[in-house]
A and B are shown apart, each in its own frame.
Chain A
């Protein structure tokens, strides 16, 4: 097996700054390099032709790896990798050495630049020699998708996927789909009635043959298999045979048990046999086992007697349904913040209600048939005060903004003015009115200017009830002075909190939970629906507070990603095995790797060594560099290649000259050095870069090896704070550095090591840091 080294001269321009002929001669002399070539312009076609030529002429049939000595990988790496594949070589065996932007362009002296280029080339050749073809996993994924949550996001995602001809299992915890949206009376800013928008979509779900609707069901177990996920869903007994139930409602009419109705914000009542709301889908009754007299006390069974179609069936048992799905979308939505534990909001007073309750009061289908009545005496309120940010933007409760409450308050004010009479005085006590969406500002202006809704800026202090029943809202105004508002009805704009059970579901699915309890995406900027569990996507308010249009958009996005997931990997070359091998005899089962893996890819079986899941593993190398017994190894990727490169570089150094090894991550680190080159920045030629997938890959061992081998300084270049592309890289680097500093200090020596948290554009910081390091080493400034 041999290595082929190609030099690109950029039509000879690189020769001005580097002695390419000398470099080629140097490369020829490296053990393992069989053939070299020079070209004006490197392209995929050139490489293919060259490889074919060598093969045809029988000159070199042993080539396994190729080193391309060229400029930035950006232009050339992908096409060359594809050419490798066409030539029957593994793309993993291509190594590009950037001697242009990262060497020739940043050093004025041709001699020293050439010397540095030699080091870069020798490192690249060592890396190429060790790189071997990777095993690949080819799987046909399960072609079904499971969607958890039947609110508007889950509905939209289901319909989108069904439209693409994909079979969907829609799992909803409650007896109906429709979620919160179905209960919101109207929707801002168009004032379309919520059920008019949501209802037909719900009907579409019920009628779509590609959608398997599973209401009153919960996800119980999710296990990962190479083809996707094996899921167990618990179907709770509704004690009504859906095949027989015609939805007549006799059971509910005759049911003697009345309980507060969560579907009307606990204002009205429902029976133990119930339909959540009149537009429920499916339109089948459910018997609530917690309140049914027969199921709790063994008496009654009235419903069974009155049901004309004999649909009531108390013998029903919980049922487990097993599904095989290629992808899962979690659209678990939100719950309304419960203000009960905080007396300052006055929720203990009867006439203090939430916006959700307000929506139910304004709904023609609601408990008051659309008449706004105070809960205490059923009278029409004359003065209404709405309080914003209840349970939101409060560091002691929830620090985040719930985003929809400003608009919901404005909507309910307008509806009240239009439908209940414009003599009702409405004041909204707010901190900032956040009307940032299409048509929102116009809606806000209309409420203020046309409908006479009053907006008062202030911070709520306390809601009190006077003896005559009047509510007093105490607040601090914009100056910080005390002020108050009197009201007959106070409406709390309660924020969004993650829905009950969603965190448990997240854990089951292997999805992160963010610090506010919502489901965590892999990247807040470019991947708000993608999670770190492959094939699992999130959308809607379960990912974070958002309104209906945003939820619908996210649902489509999640559906798009899910479709891509189950359609990719089919008949194509799958994901290569980049995960480390585990040496069974050496693994001490300490569990460090299990706990630090940012992707939860490592598990500890009851016996034997740890196990790594290739699909979850992103090959950052953190486990290898943290393993105390060195039981993990990745011979052809990442960690183990670093040592060889360090050795190669230091072997060729001129002892009279300084060498600073720069361990750079493949993302921001590489880009940073490219930026320096393009900008024409100059820095010391003592700096020689080594590329690693991530700072996670770099361990103390590499640094010590570098120092013992004669490196004068070491620099670690990773990504900015909290923005490592593999989550934990720079933090790990800094941790390693601290330990090392202590070690060296104890040993009485000091080795200059720097960690730079940089993004691809932070050129100034890089140059300053490098200068500092050079000075510390006693060398000269660039």
Chain B
């Protein structure tokens, strides 16, 4: 059909203009609104009156203490909320939300007396019911909390989470507004450490039920910690403000701004630090200084003075598949562990901070016996392989080292491949997988059947040996954790006994024996204990991230006025 070409052209032009205009408008309007941003980058004027600190962060998947499992989430949650207890510098529990507590002689009943004057950020007092309700809500299968197993030591905790009992049956009761009685399933001297974790923080029933999924948005959230959530601009920034109603010592910091970076954002954080937009490169997710810049930083007269090292309660290791016949011999496993040069790997290859590990459990975990674990020794390693029947690696099958790809892990894998070839003569094939595929694979039958080694890590949720020996290495927990198939009857016996032991000295002794048993059996290949290397501006005082999960000690920090 004929159409006037001029008409077509005019009409087309109009439509094109309309669409382009719409698209531009969709972009332009928010741009106008975004003109009011925070103070321009690079201004370093600090007023003595308002102490403000600017930190790097990563968008937390959630700020709900019952649903959090992620470092990014825990970092913020621990500023916003207080639990019953917290651990002091020496690792002893001190009261936070609870002023005092008593433990029954059989170790099964804990009675907490809540602190007078502890309030929520909206003024309402924190009551025992807030704790009781929160715990019942978090253990309920309907909430689907990834840390519901924190409640398993409590009476009926596991049964409730299995769906067999109603959450009301949980062994926790608010006998009055300020008294919380907890009944345990069996003695657990680590319970107070457990109580420092976020799943056991109190929650406000009216807020959580009233706002549903949105209760953690800045406009709705109510918290009981030293800081409140002033602003959460998703993927952009989180602003915390000092809670003036807080019962405890008033933090020097009045305002903390987290600028949110992508995960693996170490380069971006460093650039922001050097541009003066943040006060430290941090100690959380993706915060370690990028390997590509380390030499330059160390050589820089100004930056080298701002370098700090922070130990963390975590270890990296290779998990060994114990179902594979060639890994049954402990001499093979030891040979592999002893053949690596971890210092060279850390300093020269990946250029990361870290403490070369002989054993698996890091500093701060009672019972660890690093001396009992074999040391790096290439000659002995070769000898062990020969003794095991594989002189110079002859006859040893090709093994696969699997990992989820990242720049660092790739280098670790390539280094290991070459090193094991050079020292032991064994051939390692590398297999890098997409992250989600890898995480699913290591739980499945294919890993069990044909996998050899994969790179993994564990970071303490709380600094208690139970979180390592029982939670991770007990053969009963193994299928849900690393699925390595390692079983040592002696080790299991020791740690299960230790779990129930209430006397500290006896408990420690049991864990010492367990660590020695583990060292003798060398089930997995320790790599290094985690350390964070960070840049900290000289005017930022008191920045010592916690060993557990690198949490920023905001309440203890201050900014030097200029």
Do the two chains belong together in a single complex? no
Q: Which residues of A contact B (CB under 8 A)?
A: none
